[in-house]
């Protein structure tokens, strides 16, 4: 089971992840965007950490909703609305829950992904975060159906997200600022896909020993 405390640990760990990868993400974004993705992600999750540490949490849904609203209000560019939507939709799937089963956790990611797709109107191979999250969700769902442990579900999702992230390098960007570059966007790894991969990798790192 994933508890509220586990969720808190993940969200706080994300602040460290994006702080440590701030320059990496910013450098990726400098090639095809506004050179602020790492800055924005670190700023957003620093605000999330401060907010959730100062607030009492009775259920998973309210915790994720606070995360969503904090990201929307503090993160610039497309990242705030997209990641905010991910966590806001995820919160609806976890309303009034104090723990999450493996199936509920996978559903949380699924509902969050659906929100990102609807908000950003992106498709696979558009060179966006969707290219990491979609294969990750497919791999996690398959692992769940095969009766895998939480660790193996998260490992499958992380591996698929990493592969999807790498697959964005030869893609032509069709959404966002990168799409303005046309063919010059080819040959660069998408920063949004990269931060999505890091989100899943952090979940694996902090939940990998929660065997259920």
Instruction: Give mean pLDDT, residues 71-84.
Output: 91
Give me the pLDDT at residue 194, please: 98
pLDDT, one tens digit per residue, over 146-203 is 999 999 999 999 999 999 999 999 998 887 767 666 677 799 999 999 999 999 999 9
Q: Are 98 and 4 in contact (CB under 8 A)?
A: yes
Give me the pLDDT at residue 33, please: 87
Residue 91 pLDDT > 60: yes
Give me the pLDDT at residue 178, please: 73
Give me the pLDDT at residue 176, please: 72
Give me the pLDDT at residue 177, please: 66
Domains and CATH numbers, the chain: 2-207 (1.25.40.340)
pLDDT, one tens digit per residue, over 2-52 is 999 999 999 999 999 999 999 999 999 999 888 999 999 999 999 999 999
* Sign for the pseudo-dihedral over CA of 37, 88, 167, 182: negative
Residue 128 pLDDT > 90: yes
pLDDT, one tens digit per residue, over 96-111 is 999 999 999 999 999 9
Residue 170: CB atoms within 10 A of its CB come to 11
């Amino acid at each position: 089971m994933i508890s509220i405390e586990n969720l808190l640990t993940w969200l706080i760990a994300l602040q460290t992840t994006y702080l440590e990868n701030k320059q990496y993400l910013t450098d990726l974004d400098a090639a095809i965007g506004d050179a602020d993705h790492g800055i924005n992600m670190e700023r957003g999750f620093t605000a999330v950490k401060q907010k959730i540490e100062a607030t009492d949490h009775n259920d998973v849904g309210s915790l994720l909703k606070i995360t969503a609203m904090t990201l929307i209000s503090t993160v610039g560019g497309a990242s705030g609305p997209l990641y905010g939507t991910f966590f806001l939709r995820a919160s609806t799937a976890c309303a009034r829950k104090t723990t999450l089963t493996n199936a509920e956790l996978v559903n949380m990611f699924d509902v969050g992904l659906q929100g990102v797709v609807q908000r950003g109107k992106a498709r696979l191979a558009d060179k966006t975060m969707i290219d990491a999250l979609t294969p990750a969700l497919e791999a996690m769902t398959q692992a769940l159906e095969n009766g895998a442990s939480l660790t193996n579900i998260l490992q499958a999702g992380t591996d698929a997200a990493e592969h999807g992230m790498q697959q964005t390098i030869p893609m032509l960007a069709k959404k966002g600022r990168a799409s303005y570059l046309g063919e010059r966007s080819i040959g660069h790894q998408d920063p949004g896909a990269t931060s999505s991969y890091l989100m899943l990798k952090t979940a694996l790192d902090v939940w990998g020993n929660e065997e259920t």
